[in-house]
Structure 1
Amino acid sequence: MKGLKEKFGAGAVLQALAAPALALVAAFVLSSVVIAATGEDPFHAFYVMLDFGSKSDSQVWIINKAIPYYLSAAAVAIGFRMNLFNIGVDGQYRVAAFFAAVVGGALTLPGVLQIPLIILVAMAVGALWAGIAGVLKTTRGVSEVITTIMLNSIAGSLIGYFLSEDKLAVKDGNLFHTPTIPEAARFFLIPTDPDPIYGTVLIAAVIGLAYWFVLGRTRFGFDLRAVGRSESAASASGVSVRRMVVTSMLLSGAVAGLVGMPTLLNKSFNYGTDFPTGVGFTGIAIALLGRNHPIGMALAALLWGFLERTGIQLEFEGYKQEIVGVMQGIIVLCVVIAYEIVRRVVLRRQQREVGAELSARAGAGAEQDETEQKAGASA
């Protein structure tokens, strides 16, 4: 039994190392082919990307860009671990950021009180918005994919309705935005040269640690993963599937509510018509790329930010604008396919090892029986 565990441990290590290596090589080769097909030099493109991405200002930009990407991926991953597809993170973080901005702009409390209040409002609104899909799924059997997509559209319309001068917004030139959050209620910046890193990177770190601990080290996390593997088995063991579905959607929405905080508390300080959108959909790709692992998603978020930052420089070098988007798609596909290939290879290897181990045991048992029979006959 000890030998089997050691072999399975080796298989796990093989899967952990071989899959990323295979994905990296495949992505490099396919990206090179695509760039070469446009008539450009792929090796020069990679050199430009590495050179521009290594600059200090680019590194700060990449980290700041990765913060909301990581939070979005964590929100998506909570649902993924339970086999739920929360496609509505985009709407959840936008409606959460909007109402958090309204509350933040309307109050003048000390920062030590107002900042946590803004964050709690964002998490509560995001949780409630996602909870609608969870309740509809458990009570009416409506697919969370359909409801979250529809709620994205409703969120945009709701924000558009209230983001007017006669309701919850003020007009600033040709733009409408919520009242500006007081300076005392803004999140701190980490001083770096030449630009500062958003202090909300600490929020992302806390969420990553909480994600790892709750899902991997608690009974709740075990129940959540059990429901994701088999609802019938989890129900038979005493887990309330309906409660877990609603709770998971609430948690996913609460984390989604934090996605807009780096922009709101460190950059814009209000919610306007130019507030970033689409981060929720990017989070789906990053969650897949990071295999729903907190460290993997962090690396994937940084990689995504790196590609976006260096893609700007590639355009100045004369490369096609769509190259970066194609590379992002290639990387995600290569990671998904590589992990599936390696998983199947490792599974077949484990099956052969188990078969060999069982055969050896059967042979040893037969020899022992034969020896005992001979000893009994001679006696």
Structure 2
Amino acid sequence: MRERLNRLALAVVAALVALVFAGLVTSVVLLITGHGPWKTLTTMVDYGTQANQIAATINQATTYYLSAIAVAIGFRMNLFNIGVDGQYQLAAILAAAFGGEVALPNGLHQLAIVVVAMLVGSFWAGLVGVLKVTRGVSEVISSIMLNFVATGVIAYLLNAKRLGVLNGNDLTTKPIDGSGQVRGLPLIPGADTKVFGLVFLAVVVGVGFQLLVTRTRFGFDLRATGRSASAAQASGVNVKRMVVIAMLLSGAVAGLVNMPVLLGDAHNYSLSTPSGIGFTGIAIALLGRNNPLGIVFAALLWSFLDTSSNILQISNIPTSVVSITEGVVVLSAVVAYELVRRYALRRQQNRVGRQLGAIPAGTEAAA
């Protein structure tokens, strides 16, 4: 228990050091461009702590969180699923088209849409796993190329002759009926400001991921394979099977990324559907160290920065400082975590050395 608390404390210190360093770099950039760091920070905080902006932060963090969990599943297996963007986009359009076409009772309708999204995302990511274990294709190459394929498939499907319908000047899928929508939850009782009703879906996914990784045989095999595929293979783990299953799970979670927006706000898929969330998820997963709880804070921080950046343009402050901050946070966090890992390993080696040194000579032979 003591050792676990020490590792947790080191991780927290590493994260704080990364944030402080990112703040210093951002402050230097602001000073060079003629803007006060303290004024910029207070402007962002004042704007970002308004009720409607807090709701916007939570809503955006929900999608970021799901994307990061999808990436983290692959990372735990030492797989780099860079195709989350294509997986959730393809899942979103097909789930939206399905939800707009079918008529099901309330509850069953939402569940069916979510299941379709998970199946589509799982299938698209599963292709990456199959290519890796059968043909030896790197998951980085195949997943990023499948992003482009998914974009082409979406462009083909979102056509008036296929799944698209003309909605004003925009081309969308058929709107989802009320039975397939999920109502928002009031952030403050009696107020109009609401967060996505599917925010609880992100909670379920995070808890499920943690239990799967830490409390099941599959999770142990997943972590063991990620640390050393050859050692896992020697202990009886079917590494190829684990690769495919990990990609299927990662894709299933990726399929959920756009569900809070689709069912809670947009109710259809259009060209304005948010893109790029998959790549943001990679940064957030790294920042949160692939831990469901760490990813919560990383997603909220990232979402707060993105949401609060809206006020910077109005205040004639370059919004690029937010991108700089986000980039430096991730880079410095990766470096800080690696230094902490090496420090913890050295401490463990020293402790084991002291314990071995304390054993009286000849004890091992007598044993």
Do they superpose with TM above 0.5? yes
CA distance, structure 1, for counterparts of residue 261 and residue 138 of structure 2: 31
User: 2:269 aligns to what SS in structure 1?
Assistant: coil
Q: Which residue in 2 is equivalent to 1:375?
A: none
User: 1:176 aligns to what SS in structure 2?
Assistant: strand
Matched, 1:229 2:224: no
User: 1:252 aligns to what SS in structure 2?
Assistant: helix
Cα distance, 1:89 vs. partner?
0.3
Per-residue deviation, residues 143-199 of structure 1 (Å, max 9, x unmatched): 111111111001010010011111111012321111000012101211233411100
Could you tell me which of 33, 40, 58 is aligned with 1:45? 40
Q: Which residue in 2 is equivalent to 1:289?
A: 287
Structure 2 letter corresponding to 1:177: T
TM-score, normalised with respect to structure 2: 0.95
Q: Which residue in 2 is equivalent to 1:171?
A: 166
Cα distance, 1:252 vs. partner?
0.4
Could you tell me which of 283, 293, 313 is aligned with 2:311? 313
Could you tell me which of 137, 140, 143 is aligned with 1:142? 137
Cα distance, 1:43 vs. partner?
1.2
User: 1:272 aligns to what SS in structure 2?
Assistant: coil
Matched, 1:65 2:63: no
Matched, 1:56 2:51: yes
Could you tell me which of 233, 255, 279 is aligned with 1:257? 255
- 1:70-89 to structure 2, matched below 5 A, reads 70-89=65-84
Specify every segment of 5 or more residues in structure 2 that has no aligned partner in the other structure, as ranges.
none
Structure 1's consecutive aligned runs of 4 or more residues displaced over 3 angstroms after TM superposition are 8-11
Q: Which residue in 2 is equivalent to 1:220?
A: 218
User: 1:44 aligns to what SS in structure 2?
Assistant: helix
Q: Which residue in 1 is equivalent to 2:197?
A: 199
Per-residue deviation, residues 40-89 of structure 1 (Å, max 9, x unmatched): 11111111122222211111110001111000000000000000000000
Could you tell me which of 244, 247, 253 is aligned with 2:245? 247
- Between 1:54-63 and 1:22-31, the stretch displaced more is 22-31
Cα distance, 1:359 vs. partner?
2.4
Tell me: CA distance 1:174–1:13, structure 2 relative to 1, closer, same or farther (3 Å).
closer
Is 2:66–2:202's contact at 8 Å kept on the other side of the alignment? yes
Per-residue deviation, residues 200-245 of structure 1 (Å, max 9, x unmatched): 1011010001000001110000001111111111111111011100
Q: Which residue in 2 is equivalent to 1:112?
A: 107
Is 2:11–2:340's contact at 8 Å kept on the other side of the alignment? no
- Between 1:275-284 and 1:183-192, the stretch displaced more is 183-192
Matched, 1:129 2:127: no
Tell me: CA distance 1:288–1:45, structure 2 relative to 1, closer, same or farther (3 Å).
same
CA distance, structure 1, for counterparts of residue 4 and residue 54 of structure 2: 36
Matched, 1:352 2:350: yes
CA distance, structure 2, for counterparts of residue 305 and residue 12 of structure 1: 27
Structure 2 letter corresponding to 1:37: I
CA distance, structure 1, for counterparts of residue 154 and residue 312 of structure 2: 35
User: 2:171 aligns to what SS in structure 1?
Assistant: strand
Matched, 1:269 2:267: yes
Structure 1 letter corresponding to 2:16: A
Cα distance, 1:9 vs. partner?
4.3
User: 2:270 aligns to what SS in structure 1?
Assistant: coil
CA distance, structure 2, for counterparts of residue 316 and residue 56 of structure 1: 19
Specify every segment of 5 or more residues in structure 1 that has no aligned partner in the other structure, as ranges.
370-379
Cα distance, 1:356 vs. partner?
2.8
User: 2:107 aligns to what SS in structure 1?
Assistant: helix
- 1:152-167 to structure 2, matched below 5 A, reads 152-167=147-162
Matched, 1:95 2:90: yes
Tell me: CA distance 1:236–1:47, structure 2 relative to 1, closer, same or farther (3 Å).
same
CA distance, structure 2, for counterparts of residue 292 and residue 230 of structure 1: 18
CA distance, structure 1, for counterparts of residue 226 and residue 214 of structure 2: 14
CA distance, structure 2, for counterparts of residue 139 and residue 297 of structure 1: 32
CA distance, structure 1, for counterparts of residue 185 and residue 225 of structure 2: 41
CA distance, structure 2, for counterparts of residue 244 and residue 31 of structure 1: 42
Is 1:56–1:194's contact at 8 Å kept on the other side of the alignment? no
How many correspondences in the alignment? 361
CA distance, structure 2, for counterparts of residue 339 and residue 134 of structure 1: 29
Matched, 1:181 2:176: yes
Is 2:118–2:255's contact at 8 Å kept on the other side of the alignment? yes
Is 2:196–2:261's contact at 8 Å kept on the other side of the alignment? no
TM-score, normalised with respect to structure 1: 0.92
- Between 1:314-323 and 1:258-267, the stretch displaced more is 314-323
The share of aligned pairs that are identical, in percent, is 50
User: 2:290 aligns to what SS in structure 1?
Assistant: coil
Tell me: CA distance 1:32–1:13, structure 2 relative to 1, closer, same or farther (3 Å).
same
CA distance, structure 2, for counterparts of residue 306 and residue 20 of structure 1: 17
User: 1:181 aligns to what SS in structure 2?
Assistant: coil
Is 2:126–2:248's contact at 8 Å kept on the other side of the alignment? yes
Structure 2 letter corresponding to 1:127: S
Is 1:11–1:350's contact at 8 Å kept on the other side of the alignment? no
